[in-house]
Chain A
């Protein structure tokens, strides 16, 4: 399984150049393959019977980009609309987001657009958003045209790729593209391991609402 490109590496202790940490969040309708994309990116695996995500899951992965080490702190969220009110807890303070839809399901694309809108309104203004049309391996059952998604992405200034967590197509590439686009200034460099995750709640002190804060 050649599923990981040479650039994606686990941290190996070598600290040539800068280290940047970014918080990245995955959003999208249930069962479009968010968890599968993360699993493919972080562990190079694909589980056919990937369990559903409740609340959210957290994972990290480090990749090397020229002389910079980029560490992603990834929040993989639950897709069900009901868990929506949890989402701000995860995307607040995120520097990047991947909004995922399933190319064989038009509704999930509609849902992805809603997420993009919400991010543009509510998330940090400089957030890098990527749109991922997942399950590209099922292109013969496609219901969302590539061009349609590409046009939408262009209009909204999003990165866009069609991916497949199953075949690993474009999975590393989309993370890499995000890493390239992220600003690597002082603010984001820091020692590995210091909880960037803290932002999660620090940025959001008065909103500890767990679910359905009903806005």
Chain B
């Protein structure tokens, strides 16, 4: 019973979609652009332009879902498709006047939305007005003219002869003076058909139809009347109420400038009875109830469950493969011109619509309990919590599998969209869920939530000047066509424009920073995820930089970057002394290979799909995470690095080999969690995210840092570990015996600096405690000194003996004296056997 209810949800009559296909105009032979490089394929430009259509969510418009590129510039458009086209109702049943009014009202409503967004339908006809079971209509295929850039990207005319306004023919089809008024004419013809209940000129051939349309220009009487006469339905015409007659006549005005706009039509008396009466109805759009799932989500699950649009089109014969021999040109001229390869014009555009079968999805989801669609988010009652169906268990599955499991994604999407709906109040819950994994369909929004993007982001973006020419423009312009161009969206002209605007906005907004090459790559993932919401992409970037790349884009960023690279070297030394020693021996410094890693947070070195997974994790961590990622990459390549000299190593990084991102994420999370925070703390961190006190590391100059091969550790971290996990730490006190005897930490090991010979790197040189160090395992080795001790030589010596996890207590022994009571650790002085608690 409950299962049936969820099937009913899924089988909603408007949860259906279909696909159409056409060919984009092919560039001739190997024509090049003015830069000598191949032109962007028109199908890619179309994909870019079509994206915005996916955001239209008006009940009178079919939703666009996807645009897919096939071979040879084939373009497939997937869109909601439900209900019955009006053509198949006309002449089958009469429409009463009120029904016509209603249909007219809704069509104008749909057109109004389009025209406001500067989109012209151009092919409005009774074939693509779909009547729904609830008597509402939806316009279909309204985006073709827009996505094909007024038809210039395809080589077939975009029109429906019978419904086309006469001026369109007069201006010439290729002449693209875009005027929304042509849609009003088409609407007039649609309504005429409907009201006369007659398919107009259905027996005429194409040429004759065009002549008919043009003959309207000479009509001396009303056009509707003329049409009625020609179709022998004058009687019906005479019975039409005046208000409707007036509406249709107004639409069928041969002068486009005298034809009313949508707004003008909507105030006509014929719609008086249909206007929303009260506020609630007027604000319907604002108070639209929360949709349990959207058509986009439904389509996503359908795809995961094996739905394949091109495959369906093949099955229905809309995509046919021709034997290659037939595509050989008839003649190739010596300078390269190809002749006789033209595609049969009849195949350029296929008017057929293929409905996508949904049965597989229904079967796949048939057993899903109804409650899954209403996930429990907050509950203080055990009983309620237990009555919930057990969560779908996907733990332990590889991320790639989870992302492709339709059922798992159903659960995740349902839950996370609920949470996003409650953002910012649900921020904590979103973070918790994001720690498990991030459903790809909602990644853009989830990232924005993780980056605390605020709700006024769009207005803020709007206020920024993105157009005034600046001296950075040339650099931005030459970088964009080199930025992740394997990706369709980013290589489309729409993508280029958007990226440019975002970068210019960022440079404008951040006057303290400048554009560094690499910022383009850094922006790319945000744009890719928010292609239809440029402002959000910008907001994400704006919040991302201060959190993870604070001051990296200063005009003089040398101090920031150098410190970062030093910390990277130290982290390598901390976790992998052998590798650190080798890299130092061959002079393989991070400066030579790691700048693009950190400056772009790997967005310049990895393809997008890898960056997404990497950043999924990064966004949950702090600005030290990138150096752990760096370490994990080195760890993955460790064997090759250890056996290679300088050249081989540097070559390895010029062409970074396949890096397994899941492994990379796992490794870096592991070191991130097992490294005391202060090991990676930096002077140049953003204070907003890293508050510091006297118990943390402060005041280390770059020159000091450069000489320290092992990292410092803060007294706070040392005390915490000593109090909670004393077995995880080895405290080595290298002060002189007098100082040690006066006061020392209980259980610390005393190896006076002066007692060790540093001539060779042999751990036995430290004396009897060498075994302790050799068998220390994963313990952290904290070297404690004071102002009088040399604090570089000893840790360096340990490092060179391949002792891992060596660090130096920042501030020396006296820092212990500054600890507050809550963190005080046991100290003792030799000769005074009673341990005393210090504070």
Contacts and interface: CB of A to CB of B under 8 A. Distances in A.
Given A80-B475, A138-B36, A198-B587, 14 more contacts: A48-B38, A49-B482, A51-B482, A52-B520, A52-B604, A59-B654, A80-B517, A82-B514, A166-B37, A193-B647, A195-B645, A208-B589, A211-B595, A214-B556
A200 B35 CA distance: 35
A196 B645 CA distance: 10
A197 B647 contact: yes
Contacts of A30: 475, 478-479, 517
Contacts of A73: 647
Interface string B597-610: 00110001000000
B595 A31 contact: no
B491 A209 contact: no
B1 interface: no
B486 A211 contact: no
Given A31-B478, A138-B36, A141-B34, A209 B647 contact: no
Classify chain A: how many residues form its interface, as a range. 35 or more
16 contacts: A31-B478, A49-B491, A51-B483, A52-B520, A55-B599, A59-B654, A60-B651, A83-B517, A138-B35, A195-B586, A197-B587, A197-B646, A201-B589, A209-B562, A211-B558, A211-B595
Contacts of A202: 587
Contact of B516 (A48, A56, A79, A80): A80
A212 interface: yes
A26 to B, nearest CB: 13
A52 B596 CA distance: 11
Contact of A49 (B481, B593, B595): B481
B682 to A, nearest CB: 15
Contact of B37 (A48, A78, A208): A48
B509 interface: no
Contact of A213 (B558, B599, B604): B558
A214 B559 CA distance: 12
Contacts of B481: 49
B61 interface: no
A177 interface: no
Interface in A166-215: 166, 193-198, 200-202, 208-214
Contacts of A195: 586-587, 645-647
B219 interface: no
Which of B589, B592, B645 has its CB near the most chain A CB atoms (within 10 A)? B592
Interface in A136-173: 137-138, 141, 166
Contacts of A58: 592, 647, 650-651, 653-654
Contacts of B34: 141
Interface in A35-67: 48-60
Given A197-B646, A200-B592, A52 B556 contact: no
Interface string A114-137: 000000000000000000000101
A169 to B, nearest CB: 12
A54 B599 contact: yes
A89 interface: yes
A85 interface: yes
B483 to A, nearest CB: 7
B647 A208 contact: no
A200 B646 CA distance: 11
Nearest to B595: A55
Contacts of B589: 201, 208
Contact of A50 (B482, B562, B591): B482
A82 B36 contact: no
Contact of B517 (A50, A78, A141, A209): A78
A82 B561 CA distance: 14
A193 B517 CA distance: 32
Contacts of A82: 514, 516-517, 555
A89 B589 CA distance: 12
A77 B586 CA distance: 21
Contacts of B460: none
A82 B555 CA distance: 8
Contacts of B646: 195, 197-198
A78 B475 CA distance: 12
A213 B556 CA distance: 8
Contact of A194 (B518, B599, B645, B706): B645
Given A209-B558, A210-B562, A166 B587 contact: no
Contacts of A209: 558, 562
A55 B596 contact: yes
Contacts of B36: 135, 137-138, 166
Contacts of B596: 54-55
Contacts of B516: 80, 82-83
B475 A212 contact: no
B517 A52 contact: yes
Interface in A55-111: 55-60, 73, 78-80, 82-83, 85-86, 89
Nearest to B563: A210
Interface in B212-238: none
A82 B481 CA distance: 20
A83 B475 CA distance: 12
Interface string B476-499: 001101110110000100000000
Contacts of B556: 211-212, 214
Nearest to A197: B646
Contacts of A56: 592
A143 to B, nearest CB: 13
B482 A54 contact: no
Contact of A52 (B482, B592, B645): B482
Nearest to A74: B654
B654 A57 contact: yes
The 8 closest A-B pairs by CB, nearest first: A195-B646, A31-B478, A49-B485, A54-B596, A55-B595, A212-B556, A58-B650, A211-B558
Interface in B321-363: none
Given A49-B481, A51-B604, A210 B517 contact: no
B558 A210 contact: yes
B654 A210 contact: no
Contacts of B518: 52, 54
B755 interface: no
A57 B479 CA distance: 17
Nearest to A138: B36
A49 B38 CA distance: 10
Contacts of B645: 193-195
A73 B434 CA distance: 45
Contacts of A137: 36
Nearest to A83: B517
Nearest to A135: B36
A56 B516 CA distance: 14
B719 interface: no
B557 interface: yes
A105 B654 CA distance: 28
B648 interface: yes
A184 B444 CA distance: 58
Contacts of A208: 562, 589, 591, 706
Nearest to B479: A52
Nearest to A71: B647
Nearest to A194: B645
B591 A210 contact: yes
